[in-house]
Amino acid sequence: MSINKLLPGVKKNILLKNYTTFKIGGWAKYFFVAKKKEDLIGAIKVAKKLKLPFFVLGGGSNLLISDKGFEGLVIKNETRNFKIKKKKIIAESGAILDNIIEAAVGAGLSGLEEGSGIPGTLGGAVYGNAGWPRGVWEIGDCVEEVELLMPRGKIKKVGRKWLSFGYRNSRLKKTKGGKPIILEVILKLKKRGKEDLEKERLEILKTRTKKIPPGFSAGSIFKNPFRKSAGFLIEKCSLKGKRIGDVEISEKHANFIVNLGNGRAKDVIKLIKLAKQKVKNKFGIVLEEEVCYLGFKD
């Protein structure tokens, strides 16, 4: 049976760069938008039935997609529902993180405000244990429970301990082969004065705006080494403003690679390799990417 019959609403040959903050990437062979949790689960089951590679796409931040695109099914996760229940937020994985933070602050709930302005969805944030800056705040600290779709189709609820959160990492990210898919997250927060929270959120947003370079980017390219700044190390290698094709290492923050308008993934890769090599040669430090890859051959 064809994918069109098994998955009504699926589209063919969709340009993926339009769905990423980097504005880089080729075509998806198949593309499906999941508006409900049942849609997300159903699309994954169809992909597995057809033995078709699949990728669940959230907000498209922290992601570099190959110029050749993805020869499989991209599932755009738009399961946006969330609700506040006493000191907890119960949210679907496709909910926009900053919308959740804004709602929490408005309800006088503290714990998420440090993440204000971080782009992307809740599922992506939990998957990579989003935080900013290192050691100050990580979303994993607020996670109480996560509902997962396991590789064999079973739905499982796990606690924070099972997820083994680390710096920009989790058990989900470290899993090789078939990865569990986040369906829903329960966040546990604390009561605090609404006015203080609102002021703090505005200050955090101002700070982030000052530090984040303008233009199209995936966010920080590298994780910060222990007690070091990846941006500082790259800057000391005289790489600020280094340009290949239509992408460059930002003049404002060297841990950002910016698409100047017509950037290609192959040129981003060249800059990543250059930065890693220069930093290793000068400091003996091997930088590790924070950005995720899609559509590249190993």
What are the residue numbers of the active site?
168, 220, 290
Cα distances (Å, whole numbers) of residue 154 to 63, 93, 148:
27, 17, 8
Does a cis peptide bond (omega within 30 degrees of 0) precede residue 8?
no
